[in-house]
Amino acid sequence: MCVRSRTGCVIPELTVRVARASNPKGTTAIAIRDHLNGLWSDEDFEEWYPRDGKPGLSPAQLATVSVLQFLLELSDRQAAESVRNRIDFKYALGMELEDPGFHHSVLADVRERLAEEGRADKLLDLALEKIRAIGLVRERGRQRTDSTHVLAAVRDLTRLELVTEAMRAALEELARRAPHELVGLVTEDWGKRYGRAARLGRNPSKPKTRIKDTGEDIRLLLRYVHRYLPDLRDGEQVQALRQIFVQNYCTDAQDRPKWREAADAGLPPSAVAIVSPYDLSARYARRGETRWKGFLAHVTETCDPDTPSVITDVTTTKAAVHDTKALPGILANLDHRNLLSKEHFVDGG
């Protein structure tokens, strides 16, 4: 897919007439086009796509749809249906009324590209430049930062499930990278224990036996990889297994794996404890009655009484990092955008 430029795109006259007649008071989508002439142009996305290939959809349009989708709390399917059916969406995107829009699955592709290389921050910078140019946001005003929890895309695991799943993931990784190296190591018992995703529940059968066997299996695998497969030690899942093993096991006087117990003060605090072998940055946290495994999104917005609230920064951290700890990085981002505030309100945690 290559970029198809829409800079200076003129809204079709029929779309303008119908949009204004059907929405005399305007909508959020119409306001984006009227006041900002759109949030972005296709040239802002040139680095996202190759220069050759067949013409594709406008990335500026897709990014704008993603913003409207967030504002109006729409699913991907609902957002695509809105582009196809809503006149104000067609007006905001500069589309002909008969334009059928696009399949909802392309929005997921846009989000994947957006998550790479700090692209989201770059797009926010460009949008804020336009918003500041029309006077909706200014430097030395009032701003506030608050956070909301973000769930990690991982399954909720017990400690025993965590170590079992970490072992399975490491074996899968090694089998992909060096399938013949494990022939003499993997036994039929290992196939039964780690042949499928760990789903043991809160009360598994024979928990002490499972804990003992899994600990010995992990230690054996890690030593085998260290001694015979040094080129595979840097694997993501092997490294995750090593960290999860140390987090949940120690060794006794006979150098045997021993399950760490909270009563012995041997477990790490939740701020550093790994909760999934597939996302080592996710953390467990609790805020009031809300408990989750994932992250915190710290959202900063203007709060001047004479202007609308405008988001000026979004910073994502681990779940245990409350707003005051995230504030230095947030202020550095605002300084980069020339949007430092005179007063900044933040929750002390």
pLDDT at 173: 96
pLDDT at 4: 37
Where residue 297 falls (left for φ over 0; alpha for ψ -120 to 50; beta otherwise) is: beta
Within 8 A by CB and 6+ apart from 6, the residues are 41, 42, 58, 60, 61, 94
CB 60 within 8 A of CB 93: no
Among 159, 161, 158, 232, smallest CA distance to 193 is for 161
Residue 127 above 70 pLDDT?
A: yes
For the segment 258-285, what is each residue's pLDDT rounded down to a tens digit?
A: 999 877 768 899 889 999 999 999 999 9
Give dist(CA 59, CA 240) in Å, integer. Answer: 36
Mean pLDDT of 235-262: 93
Mean pLDDT of 179-208: 88
Give the least confident one: 34-38, 129-133, 214-218: 34-38
For the segment 136-192, what is each residue's pLDDT rounded down to a tens digit?
A: 888 889 999 999 999 999 999 999 999 999 999 999 999 999 988 888 888 899 999
For the segment 277-312, what is each residue's pLDDT rounded down to a tens digit?
A: 999 999 999 888 899 999 999 999 999 988 889 999
Give dist(CA 209, CA 24) in Å, integer. Answer: 71
For the segment 24-76, what is each residue's pLDDT rounded down to a tens digit?
A: 999 989 988 888 888 898 888 888 887 776 667 889 999 999 999 999 999 99
β-strand partners of 90:
none
Among 135, 41, 26, smallest CA distance to 93 is for 41
For the segment 95-111, what is each residue's pLDDT rounded down to a tens digit?
A: 999 999 999 999 999 99
Residue 3 above 70 pLDDT?
A: no
Mean pLDDT of 211-228: 95
Say if strands 290-302 and 311-318 run parallel, antiparallel, or are unpaired: antiparallel
Backbone angles phi, psi at 146, to 5 degrees: -140, 160
Residue 8 above 70 pLDDT?
A: no
Give dist(CA 90, CA 96) in Å, integer. Answer: 7
Residue 322 above 60 pLDDT?
A: yes
